[in-house]
């Protein structure tokens, strides 16, 4: 299989979320012409961050600048971070065995839930045939996945088997954050939530804090050091983004005061039941 600078190229961009204000984008770009998907993604790639817990779409364009039709044999699409690599999910029709005529291009879309914080690398590798032999061409695209907020816990014992778990959520976005749901998911039937302070959506300003607390009743048999109480699920909406859901790591007994815990993404941001156990989903 040959590897050289073939006249086939790949471009990769992020696609803006569905609720981006397209009129505002047009105003910002000082243009009156209709926006295409490509111009949306140009704006999004350069101006809006992505967050852990967000499902991000990628726009991949494959251009054939040769004088002959090429046939796609295989496309490998993945995203990687410091902790590893996982495949992207293709949206729509399979890209295998598509043909691209001379001087034309095709576009594909891929999607992935961001499971890590830090630099993310999207890698696209294309194997194609030009009726003579097979070739391989690849492209990479890098961007940052940010942590939208910090979260710290403390625990106060009310009685021999009742605890108050206090949570402090600090907005680290450049804009306001709307908290749509904050819910503590108990680890087992031996932990029961009897009160929560969250009852409606709350707007938190940049660098602002939201204080949440819940009262838990714990089976005395599991009150040993290190017992797991549960995890906190936080759902929020940021400007230009759809609802994002995150869950904290497990809260244990005892909880050290003001310890910031790692956030993990989970795929279905519809958690409303405060008595369910919350489990994080791997990439």
Tens-digit pLDDT profile for residues 193-248: 999 999 999 999 999 999 999 999 988 877 766 678 888 999 998 877 778 888 88
Same domain membership, residue 159 and residue 112: no
Residue 273 lies in a domain: no
Question: Which range has the worst mean pLDDT, 118-122, 168-172, 253-257, 278-282?
Answer: 278-282
Kind of pairing between the strands at 118-129 and 149-157: unpaired
Give me the long-range contacts of 191-196 (CB less than 8 A, separation at least 24): 191/216, 191/217, 191/218, 191/219, 191/222, 191/229, 191/230, 192/216, 192/217, 192/218, 192/275, 193/217, 193/274, 193/275, 194/162, 196/274
Quickly state the pLDDT bin for 92 (edges 50, 70, 90): confident
What CATH number should be reported for the domain holding residue 99? 2.60.40.10
Same domain membership, residue 121 and residue 90: yes
* pLDDT exceeds cutoff 50 at 52: yes
Using one digit for the tens of pLDDT, what is the confidence trace for 1-26? 444 445 899 999 988 664 444 344 33
Same domain membership, residue 23 and residue 116: yes
> Among 124, 146, 168, where does a domain finish?
146
What pTM, to 2 d.p., does this model score?
A: 0.68
Which domain covers residue 75, as residue numbers? 8-146
Same domain membership, residue 124 and residue 72: yes
pLDDT of residue 213: 94
Separation CA 94–CA 112 (nearest Å): 16
Using one digit for the tens of pLDDT, what is the confidence trace for 119-173? 999 999 999 998 888 999 999 999 888 888 999 888 888 888 888 999 999 998 8
- The mean pLDDT value of the chain amounts to 77
Same domain membership, residue 231 and residue 207: yes
Separation CA 126–CA 226 (nearest Å): 49
Total domain count, the chain: 2
pLDDT of residue 220: 80
* pLDDT exceeds cutoff 50 at 39: no
> Among 146, 161, 192, where does a domain finish?
146
Give 18 or 74, the one with higher predicted confidence.
Answer: 74
Residue 259 lies in a domain: yes
Same domain membership, residue 49 and residue 168: no
Same domain membership, residue 50 and residue 131: yes
Quickly state the pLDDT bin for 256 (edges 50, 70, 90): very low
Residue 228 lies in a domain: yes
* pLDDT exceeds cutoff 90 at 260: no
- Averaged pLDDT for residues 258-279: 41
Q: In three state form, how does the secondary structure of 180-245 look? A: EEEEEEECCCCEEEEEECCCCCEEECCCCEEEEEEEEEECHHHCCCCCEEEEEEEEEEECCCCCEE
Same domain membership, residue 126 and residue 195: no
């Amino acid at each position: 299989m040959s590897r050289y600078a073939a006249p086939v190229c790949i471009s990769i961009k992020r696609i803006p979320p569905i609720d981006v204000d397209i009129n505002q984008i047009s105003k910002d770009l000082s243009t009156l012409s209709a926006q295409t998907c490509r111009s949306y993604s140009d704006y999004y790639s350069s101006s809006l961050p992505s967050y852990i817990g967000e499902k991000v779409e990628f726009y991949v364009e494959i251009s054939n600048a040769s004088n002959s039709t090429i046939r796609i044999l295989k496309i490998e699409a993945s995203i990687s971070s410091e902790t590893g690599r996982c495949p992207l999910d293709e949206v729509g029709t399979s890209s295998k065995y598509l043909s691209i005529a001379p001087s034309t291009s095709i576009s594909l879309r891929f999607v992935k839930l961001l499971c890590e914080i830090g630099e993310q690398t999207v890698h696209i590798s294309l194997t194609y045939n030009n009726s003579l032999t097979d070739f391989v061409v690849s492209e990479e695209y890098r961007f940052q996945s940010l942590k939208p907020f910090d979260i710290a816990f403390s625990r106060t014992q009310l009685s021999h088997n009742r605890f108050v778990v206090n949570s402090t959520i600090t907005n680290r976005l450049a804009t306001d954050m709307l908290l749509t749901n904050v819910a503590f998911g108990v680890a087992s039937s031996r932990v029961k939530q009897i009160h929560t302070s969250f009852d409606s959506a709350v707007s938190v300003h940049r660098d602002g804090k939201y204080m949440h607390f819940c009262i838990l009743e714990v089976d005395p048999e599991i009150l040993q050091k290190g017992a797991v109480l549960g995890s906190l699920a936080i759902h929020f909406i940021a400007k230009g983004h759809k609802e994002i859901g995150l869950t904290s790591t497990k809260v244990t007994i005892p909880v050290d005061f003001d310890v910031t815990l790692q956030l993990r993404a989970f795929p279905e941001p519809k958690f409303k039941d405060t008595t369910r156990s919350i489990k994080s989903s791997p990439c």
